[in-house]
Amino acid sequence: MPGTRPGMTAERSVVVQKRKLGNSGIEVSVVGVGCNNFGRRIHDVAAARAVIDRAIDIGITLFDTADAYGNGTSESFLGETIGKRRQQVVIATKFGWGSPSGTSRRTISRTIEASLKRLRTDYIDLYQVHFPDPNVPIEETLRALDELVRDGKVRATGCSNFSPAQVSKALDTSARLGTASFVTCQDEYSLLVRKIEREAVPLMQKRGLTLLPYAPLAGGFLSGKYFQGKPLPKDARLAYSSHHASDVINARNWALSEKLLDFAARTGHSMLDVAFGWLLSRPVTASVIAGAMTAEQVEQNVRAGETKLSADEIAELDRITQ
């Protein structure tokens, strides 16, 4: 495997580090598995099982999914595979994407039951609002989520893709109503996409939330497999998804990629090491949500999550990509 370090055995001796999700007390591995491939690019449960089982075997505890991924197939694959190992993992799922009034009390009461059934569990560790809903007052959503927490169906709640103003309003509303409040934000964040640093990250630090960064490799662009002037890697996400490719593949990012490849070569790291190590150096990061198609990719992600960049290396990466 290119860019990996030796020492991977049948069962790892290295203990994957853990961090807390906000003030919830829930601990998660610093590298999580993003399950959006299940039902999309992985269409059979056996292939999903290979990824999930290997992840648990080597110390990953966080699995992030959504009811919208594969129209529920992602949750179903996860539930079918985890089985008796439920107590070893933290399940994070999301709701409210693509459904009119998807965050209303009535809709939440239905979607939570559907997710619990697919996941084959009686509780969800982290239940996240997938996108802000302009059709439903945040008060209604927060009251509905609070009921789920009090009923024991949800341990903690979070938001995804919320603006800083929307996060602040939700936290202030929870404080005013006395409801359970968000403990996490899930946002796109990588060496190539740093816009949340302006307002969102300072807000998280001030209000005690932690971040679950998604797209840590910018759709795979930071995997070290993309080279300007050469064909895109076969079956790579950016090769088949024109939407993601149009966001990532541009002159600015090619120039940054060259600088990052040079940095990786000079410092003896893989591009994966650089991307994960930099994200985990940020104080607000709880766990890096990373997709995987194979057990081998899970192992690569875990190794990358063990990377400790020096202060000078982090400063140089900040200068390169700021």
Q: Which residues are known to be catalytic?
A: 69
Locus of tokens 């995804």? 160
**Three-state SS for 19?**
strand
DSSP calls for 54-117: HHHHTT--EEE--TTGGGGHHHHHHHHHHGGGGGG-EEEEEE-SSSTTTTSHHHHHHHHHHHHH
To 10 degrees, the CA torsion angle through 70, 73, 78, 79?
A: 150
Amino acid at residue number 173? T
HSE of 121, CA atoms in CB hemisphere, 13 A: 30
- Compute how many other C-beta atoms are within 10 angstroms of the C-beta atom of residue 38: 28
Tokens read off for 306: 């063990």
First to last CA, the chain: 30
Q: Is-contact 247 254, C-beta < 8 A?
A: no
In this structure, are strands 154-160 and 90-95 parallel, antiparallel, or unpaired? unpaired
Return the DSSP state at 196.
G
CA distances from 16 to 34, 58, 188 (A): 17, 8, 23
Q: Is 219 left (phi over 0), alpha (psi -120 to 50) or beta?
A: left
